[in-house]
Amino acid sequence: MDSSAPFPLFSSLRVVGDMNGRPLISPLRVPLMIIRPTAFSPLSEQQPPEIRPTSIEVAWPVTAGLGDAVGKAMRLLLSNDTILPRLDFCEHLNVSQCVFTELERQFLVVAYNPLAHPVRTYLRLPVMREGYSVRQVNKRRRSVPAQVLPIPPSVISLPERSSLAVNELVFPISLPPLGFSVYGVQIQDDYEPEVDIESERMPFTVQDTVIQNENLKVVIDGFSGLMKEIILVQSNQGVPVKQSFYYYEGMPGYRMERASGAYAFNPQHDTAYPLAENITYRVFKGPLVEEVHQFYAPWITQIIRLYKGQNHVEFDWIIGPIPVQDHIGREIITRFDTDLENNGVFYTDSNARETMKRVRDHQETFPWNITEKIAGNYYPVTSWMYIRDEARNLQLSLLTDRPQGGGSIIDGSMELMLHRRLLFDDGYGVNEALNEPGFDGRGLVVRGSHYLTLGPIDDMTPLNKRLTKIRFHSPVLGFARIPYSNLSRYSLNDFRGLKRRLPHNVHLLTLERLDNHRILLRLEHFYEVTDEPERTVTVSLNNLFRPFRVIYFQETTLSANKYLYEVERLKWRSQDEEDAAYENELPPTSTNNDLTDVMESEVNEGYVVNDSEDDHLRITLKPMQIRTFILKVDYNVHY
């Protein structure tokens, strides 16, 4: 479990579970600050060797403590009558490793959704066997379809992986907003697969291969093994899309130009060299997911996935260790080449909020430096990047799982920087080359993924922003040792923290309990003005939260360090303006702390007043607006 994500997670669990008086997490805040000093960030300064052991020693108890705190909260919320056995967490699912799911024959999967919207997604759990049955543990006890796929050799051979699992169990889950779903998993002893594994291995052929679901078809070239086309099923519209991996040669340090390094992207040539023109691949098809396993080189592989019912393509890649035996530093990119005509225009996000328009070889505020053709057209991509063909009403988007650099160097193309290994210091202060040794000292191995979406322009914004939220706030998984025969002994609640979902464009950013009767609430309107015709949205807190009733609220500043009516904003005046005239423009200072005055103040002009009985519990949000409130609540009222 990541060392920082569970803090807001546990805060929301503590609110919806009425867990005041249980100091499970406060003692962990200080050690977390110790292991996250900005002076030793890998993006800002070299970390001295003597600091690294200290960080690791402190990080382990923090991670373990957070897991215990979240586990206790989840158990208490799921079962009021009988406390469930200990919940275990798997911190290494990103390398397909989980001792619990590998060794247990029967177990429960507890999935918590931290979003204020329902989520439907798929779980992948590393397992040893080929036959499993899954069912949802609720009143209906319904059976859930499942599929088993082989773990590719590139994942099995990851240097930090210590697991005997050779397969992955895949099954769909459906989660309520701020709520839990529980699933039971059991080995099928009498399972006899028709082939060597439930997901059928397709025979090798030189003909094109197609993987598909209800929304998309992905065509794999039979000769090269590369993706060459995506077809929209509903409109039967095909778009040529070639995807492959390339590399730039990093500028060495003995030239006149600055070397490519930790702070400088400076390729020696303007050409990206392909890593492979023809690759080997295997295809696996089953009832839930279809996959193409691609092998480019011993140090670079990829899986292209299409899940049933999903409207995006997943690219799961592993890169490293990058070879440097020839003394050439390499900067690895993935590139998507299409026939879309974007006329040099592409778009990137700004911290997963606003979308920034980019124009190739152009800057608004200063003359363009034509000497940096590649690096000068790279921009930070925190969450998404896309190109549009206005004439064809098509948009191709890439969603990242981490901040990366990207650009559209030629029309119809998008590329993202995935991994770098360089041999010279760039001279910007780190005083070492970007040559990370990795887990085993042979070089760093990186695993990541991208989502690709394609469709009409108006349909892409809600899809991309929804997927971005789900990727960042993925379900939290806990595991418990309970045999199927013992399930009747436990009273498992179908827990939901909200009685209804929030509007699709509103995100519950913060939900934290301050004391017995006060809760910190922060709401975000994460759509832009151009995303939707309706530019504002109203959220009513009346009858919204299941565990408590909101009595009233007061708005604060964004950081919640002052009430909004206490803020004195600086008024700027021009050079010609008279002091007296300026003083007359200032609003009178009010010492009344009444909530009505706060809502009617000038700084809160976006608040909408209605005639209904719950007017005082309505909050209006403008596009891109984040508002913070302190709620007065009553946990004793259950309705």
What does 321-336 look like in DSSP terms, one character per residue? PPP-TTS--EEEEEEE
Higher pLDDT among residues 480 and 453, named by residue: 453
CATH number reported for the structural domain that contains residue 90 in this entry? 2.60.40.1180
Percentages helix, strand, coil for the chain (3-state, rounded to 5) are 15, 35, 50
Q: What is the pTM of this model?
A: 0.86
Task: Please say which residue of 495, 526, 541 terminates a domain.
Answer: 495
Residue 227 within a domain: no
Residue 154 within a domain: yes
Q: Is the peptide bond before 323 cis (omega within 30 degrees of 0)?
A: no
Task: Please say which residue of 440, 461, 495 terminates a domain.
Answer: 495
Residue 150 within a domain: yes
Looking at residue 84, its pLDDT comes to 66
Span 567-622, pLDDT tens digits? 888 888 776 665 555 455 444 443 343 333 333 333 333 333 334 444 689 999 99
Q: How many CB atoms lie within 10 A of CB 637?
A: 10
pLDDT at 490 over 80: no
Q: Which of 144-158, 242-256, 343-357 is predicted least confidently?
A: 242-256
Span 287-342, pLDDT tens digits? 999 999 999 999 999 999 999 999 999 999 999 899 999 999 999 999 999 999 99
The Cα 342–Cα 339 span in angstroms is 9
- Write out the DSSP string of 8-20: HHHHHHHHHTT-T
**Same-domain check for residues 92 and 158:** yes
pLDDT band at 492 (very low <50, low <70, confident <90, very high): low
**End-to-end CA distance of the chain, in Å?**
35
pLDDT band at 497 (very low <50, low <70, confident <90, very high): confident
| Long-range contacts from 566-571, C-beta under 8 angstroms, 24+ separation | 567/603, 569/603
pLDDT at 72 over 90: no
Q: What is the mean pLDDT of the chain?
A: 83
pLDDT above 90: percentage of residues in the chain: 59
Looking at residue 505, its pLDDT comes to 92
Tokens of 24: 């499970």
Residue 58 within a domain: no
The Cα 150–Cα 251 span in angstroms is 40
Looking at residue 102, its pLDDT comes to 94
Span 527-567, pLDDT tens digits? 998 887 778 999 999 989 988 899 999 999 999 999 998 88
Task: Report CA dihedral (275, 276, 279, 285) to the nearest 10 degrees.
Answer: 50
Higher pLDDT among residues 595 and 427, named by residue: 427
The Cα 251–Cα 259 span in angstroms is 5
Looking at residue 575, its pLDDT comes to 66
Average pLDDT over residues 126-139: 89
Higher pLDDT among residues 27 and 116, named by residue: 116
Range among 87-91, 192-196, 252-256 rated most confident: 87-91
**Same-domain check for residues 144 and 182:** yes
The Cα 419–Cα 217 span in angstroms is 29
**Same-domain check for residues 156 and 81:** yes
**Same-domain check for residues 503 and 491:** no
Average pLDDT over residues 217-241: 96
**Same-domain check for residues 153 and 71:** yes
Higher pLDDT among residues 10 and 123, named by residue: 123
pLDDT at 624 over 60: yes
pLDDT at 41 over 70: no
User: What CA–CA distances, in Å, run from 33 to 27, 223, 472, 473?
Assistant: 11, 53, 22, 22
pLDDT band at 86 (very low <50, low <70, confident <90, very high): confident
3-state secondary structure 369-405: CCCCCCHHHCEEECCEEEEEECCCCEEEEEEECCCEE
Looking at residue 10, its pLDDT comes to 62
Domain encompassing residue 101 = 65-194+475-495
pLDDT at 83 over 80: no
User: What CA–CA distances, in Å, run from 164 to 26, 146, 330, 413?
Assistant: 37, 21, 33, 40
**Same-domain check for residues 491 and 622:** no
Looking at residue 125, its pLDDT comes to 97
**Same-domain check for residues 135 and 158:** yes
Looking at residue 637, its pLDDT comes to 61
Contact assessment for residue 85 and residue 477, using Cβ atoms and an 8 Å cutoff:
no
Looking at residue 74, its pLDDT comes to 74
Looking at residue 369, its pLDDT comes to 73
Higher pLDDT among residues 208 and 572, named by residue: 208
Total domain count, the chain:
2
**Same-domain check for residues 75 and 137:** yes
Residue 108 within a domain: yes
3-state secondary structure 186-245: EECCCCCCCCCCCCEEECCCCCCEEEECCCEEEEECCCCCCEEEEEECCCCEEEEEEEEE
State the DSSP code for 611: S
Looking at residue 43, its pLDDT comes to 41
pLDDT band at 429 (very low <50, low <70, confident <90, very high): confident
Higher pLDDT among residues 540 and 638, named by residue: 540
φ, ψ of residue 216 to 5 degrees: the values are -135, 150
Residue 539 within a domain: yes
Residue 19 within a domain: no
Residue 362 within a domain: no
Tokens of 621: 């949000």
**Same-domain check for residues 109 and 169:** yes
The Cα 160–Cα 155 span in angstroms is 10
Average pLDDT over residues 397-415: 96
Instruction: Count Cβ atoms within 10 A of the Cβ of residue 30 and give its class: 0-12 exposed, 13-18 middle, 19 or more buried.
Output: exposed
Strands (E) across 250-392 are located at 273-274, 280-285, 289-297, 300-307, 313-319, 330-338, 345-350, 354-359, 379-381, 384-389
pLDDT at 430 over 90: no
**Same-domain check for residues 536 and 483:** no
Average pLDDT over residues 261-266: 92
Contact assessment for residue 150 and residue 284, using Cβ atoms and an 8 Å cutoff:
yes
Looking at residue 20, its pLDDT comes to 58
Task: Please say which residue of 495, 523, 547 terminates a domain.
Answer: 495
CATH number reported for the structural domain that contains residue 533 in this entry? 2.60.40.1360
User: What CA–CA distances, in Å, run from 154 to 12, 168, 317?
Assistant: 37, 14, 10
